Amino acid sequence: MKRRQSATQLAERMLAGDSLALPRLISLVEGESAAVAEIMRRIAPHTGRAYCVGVTGPPGAGKSTVVDKLTVLMRQRGLSVGIVAVDPSSPFTGGALLGDRIRMQQHYLDPGVFIRSMATRGSHGGLPGTVQGVIKLLDASGRDVILVETVGVGQTELDVVNTADVVIVVVTPESGDAVQAMKAGLFEIADIFAINKADREGAQRMKAELEAILAMKPGESIAVVLTEAHRGVGIEELYQELERYRRAQEENGELERRRRHRRREEFLELLQRRIRRRFLDFADKDGQLKALTEQVVAGELDPYSACARVLGDRHWLDKWLSQEGPALSEAEG
Amino acid sequence: MTEEKPTRVLIAKPGLDGHDRGAKVVALGLRDAGFEVIYTGIRQTPEMIVHAAVQEDVDVMGLSCLSGAHKTLFPKVVELLRQSGRQDVLVIGGGIIPEDDVPLLMERGVQAIFPSGTLISRIADYIRDKVQR
Ligand SMILES: Nc1nc2c(ncn2[C@@H]2O[C@H](COP(=O)(O)OP(=O)(O)O)[C@@H](O)[C@H]2O)c(=O)[nH]1
Ligand SMILES: [Mg+2]
């Protein structure tokens, strides 16, 4: 019963401020429902206002605690906040334990804060493509700031760059030295570093090391802030750096450049996903293609020649594009 | 896509007792059974729990209580869910619940009680069975 309402109706209700509509829409987007295109079309005119802050770093570094404390400061300044906390799904069972909310309890009853936990689901450890859509929903629902927490392991770190207007990388003194951080690729994505758990040994030394490495990057000024998030120490400084970064970004056009890049990426990515899915459906059904695949499987034909044969055959491509099933333009995710 | 939408379960601990070992074990077990489990931590008021359930758009709410206050807390959560328009959420309970209290809880809208020590696989099967869409 709960899913039956039309997506357009839900979108209208969300734009009118209905508190049940937003969570449902997020589920539709997250589940790559066929209604996503309709939802996105409806909310598009209401997006582009929110500022999106990515918070990433290794597990246990204190990301959720930082998000919680930044939210306090933002609320004090009258900003409404949306939080998307992403944790990995098990590739084996598909299950996930989403525990970031534990650190954010003080905001549960505040209507100015909306928190949503997301699992990575089928995105192979990367940030799911659906996060972008969820951010748009929060944006359209009128949030001033959206904080996106992702675990910085492997691919998610790179994906977060294509999602956020600014990226805070949270590291700890015990997460190893600055060279370790460099190897992990954190320098490529960080706009601001927070060395959290500064109450622990080695924080000052790590700060000095990070700054020394950063000094070698020409043309960029990346701040390094020491924080003790569990006690709220250093969060005001971190917030100031965020503000400073945003102002600079707005003045020098970097924010717009980043958003243009993101729109391009999103479009091409979507196109790819849909073509791919449509093709896999076709490959499943088409006898001619199956026979060709079998030749490759048996080692009788090399994959490159097989590929050239498919792509060189207009008739075949026509057959693919005119196959039965949902129109390519409306296919799911 | 043939892939199903994973069922979302919120595990919450209403009330003042600070022991969440049992709740955590259930949360981990349900994760391993393929559910998306949202864990909200200890010392939650029914209001906080229901706000979280609404925002997270969960299908299932698992409440754990060891303090003895389940007779007021569980029905309160059910009532608040109804007021929030989410009476469709499957509410189940666990923890230290005397058998004598079960009929009252069921009457007040808790769908099932799984006392401490229940096999997680039983809980998982129950949820799967109930949340078939
Ligand atoms: N000692 C210390 N512990 C902290 C600090 N910030 C957070 N923690 C603790 O570190 C643990 C992990 O924090 P959490 O925010 O969940 O990390 P996340 O996995 O990166 O989101 C929690 O127990 C926090 O209370 C800090 O500055 N110093
Ligand atoms: Mg976290």
Nearest CB to B48: which of A24, A89, A105? A105
Mean pLDDT of chain A: 89
pTM of the model: 0.91
Closest CA relative to residue A197, chosen from A160, A221, A170 = A170
Q: What is the CATH number of domain A47-252?
A: 3.40.50.300
The 10s digit of each residue's pLDDT in A75-85 is 999 999 999 99
What are the pLDDT digits (tens) for A148-174?
999 876 555 667 777 899 999 999 998
Q: Determine the residue of chain B that is closest to A120 in CA distance.
A: B36
Nearest CA in chain A to B47: A109
The strand order across the sheet containing B112-115 reads: A96-98, B36-39, B8-12, B60-65, B90-95, B112-115
What residue spans define the domains of chain A? Answer: 1-46, 47-252, 261-332
For residue A22, report the distance from its CA to the centre of ligand 1, in Å: 29
pLDDT, mean of residues A245-253: 96
Cβ within 8 Å of B, A 83-142:
89-90, 93-99, 101-102, 105, 108-109, 114-117, 119, 121-122
Cβ of A253 below 6 Å from ligand 1: no
Calculate ∠ Cα A242-A75-A164, nearest 5°.
Answer: 40
Reported ipTM: the value is 0.94
pLDDT at A217 over 90: no
Element at A170 (helix H, strand E)? strand A166-171
Considering only CB atoms, which chain A residues are within 8 Å of B133?
A: 3
Full set of structural domains in chain B with CATH: 8-130 (3.40.50.280)
Q: Which residue has the tokens 């190897």?
A: A183
Compute the distance from residue A60 Cα to the ligand 2 centre, in Å.
7
